[in-house]
Amino acid sequence: MYAKAKASRAYGRAGAIAGEAVSNMRTVAAFGREEAVLRSYASALAAPTKVTARMAVAWVAVAWRCGCGVELQGQRSGAGVLVAAWTAH
């Protein structure tokens, strides 16, 4: 639960950065700070992206271990989901 709360706070910070940039769009553009705002937003999203990808990998590993598998389009494809989750980070 700690990882989920941490990711949620990070998404909140990223949303605040985006909201502030949009509400001050003219000022950001006037000072040529678009790239800096974009880098700030991307760095705020880096940590929660890794956390959620790891949570997805852990979930698939547990499901695979217990024999639950993951149903996608009627086929057991836990390995495919595992690969997709791992490459997402």
Task: Give CA 1 to chain center in angstroms.
Answer: 16
Backbone angles phi, psi at 61, to 5 degrees: -60, -40
Please give the pLDDT value at position 10: 86
Q: For residues 53-67, give the mean pLDDT.
A: 72
60 lies in which domain range? 2-88
Please give the pLDDT value at position 54: 76
62-75: per-residue pLDDT in tens?
776 666 555 544 44
Please give the pLDDT value at position 73: 46
How much is the pTM? 0.57
Please state the domain count of the chain. Answer: 1
Examine the pLDDT at 15 and tell me if it is beyond 50.
yes
Element (H, E) at 76: strand 75-76
Please give the pLDDT value at position 81: 58
Task: Report in angstroms the alpha-carbon separations of 43 from 14, 40, 48, 69, 72.
Answer: 8, 5, 10, 34, 32
21-53: per-residue pLDDT in tens?
999 999 998 999 999 999 999 998 887 877 777
The C-alpha atoms of residue 33 and residue 10 are separated, in whole angstroms, by 22
